[in-house]
Copies of this chain bind each other. A is one copy, B any other.
Amino acid sequence: MKKITMQDVAERAGVSSKTVSRVINNEPRVSESTRKKIQQVIDELNFQPNKSAQSLAADRSLLLGLLYDNPSSAYIINLQAGVLDACNEFGYGLVIHPCENNSPDLLPKLRNLLASSRMDGLVLTPPMTENRQLLDFLDSNSTPYVLITPLNLEQSCPLVSIDDVMAARQSIQHLIDFGHKRIGLILGARERSGTEMRLLGYQQALEENNIPFDEGLVVQGDFTFESGVTAGLQLLRQPQPPTAIFASNDYMAAGVMKVASQLRISIPYELSVCGFDDTPVARYMTPTLTTVRHPVEQLAQHAGELLIRKLKKHLERSESEELHSELIVRESTGPVAKP
């Protein structure tokens, strides 16, 4: 199984290797007839250009990097799947990079990774999307990147995000539709920009239904199971406890369910619990957890495509023009899995 090179294709098609290169890279200025002929030979020989040679000559690695620091493995898998889709579509490879946002050697490590792997661009997810130091480093390094993150109007760089306000509002509306009036809210980590948006969505839903806002029903969590337990206790031990609780992720919701079980509060008869993420945890719990599906895979795919497009523009216009920051807002699909 000898390796087939562009040279082989060129000879067989009776053209120069440069022209083959043009066809492979979809460059214009090739007559339709030669293009056709060359494409035919490429298919016949099942020719695949050598990535290493391409990278070396064009000084781009054809590699995207994906940075994440998130305990939910289901989330990461979806994330990877989405970015991989985009990569496969455009002939890019993907370098995954689990990291620790708070580690002091995050930047040095990233520097090394960039230097050795020479990734052309990065897809960032929370909490790295809110790490100023990291973003500044990438800017100074002129490494292109795209964020997957809750909408933040202060950012001027390309990002894709779901509408967190809408997602929360829909979920709360869902609970209201089931007749709930006292609805507890467990927020995620305070520093995340998505957190206040969920609160906003919660408040909007209440307002639209003329339900007074009760501060005592809103509790701070940090996305962990344990914080869900603590928050759940705080909510359920009140003299007038909520009849429904919306948690900002499934792990915290699982924590609430644990508390409910300990307090002998029956779900869903005495308490409705709604999570956010649609992880497998939710599906396999007893009773099943109502949860909101987060279209992570599509988001990630968009992010990947956006990044690749950005890289292309980068090349064509040789940095002469500022890129518009693109924004894709997608709605959550509303709660799935009724209790």
Contact = CB atoms under 8 A, between A and B. Distances in A.
Interface of A: 1, 46, 48-53, 55-56, 61, 63, 73-74, 76-77, 80-81, 84, 91, 93-96, 98, 112, 115-118, 141, 225, 251, 254-255, 257-258, 261, 280-281, 283-287
A46 B281 contact: no
Given A115-B48, A281-B284, A286-B261, A77 B84 contact: no
Contacts of A48: 112, 115-116
Contact of A80 (B81, B93, B96, B285): B96
A280 B95 contact: no
A102 B47 CA distance: 26
A79 to B, nearest CB: 10
Contacts of A112: 48
B51 A118 contact: yes
Contacts of A84: 96, 98
Contacts of A1: 141
A266 to B, nearest CB: 12
Contact of A285 (B91, B116, B284): B284
Contact of A56 (B53, B81, B91): B53
Contact of A52 (B52, B225, B257): B52
Given A251-B284, A285-B285, A96 B98 contact: no
Contact of A61 (B46, B52, B74, B141): B52
Given A96-B80, A96-B94, A112-B48, A73 B254 contact: no
Given A48-B115, A53-B56, A96-B96, A77 B73 contact: yes
Contacts of A225: 283-284
B284 A286 contact: no
A3 to B, nearest CB: 9
Contacts of A116: 48-49, 51, 91
A109 to B, nearest CB: 9
A48 B56 CA distance: 14
Contact of A280 (B52, B63, B281, B283): B281
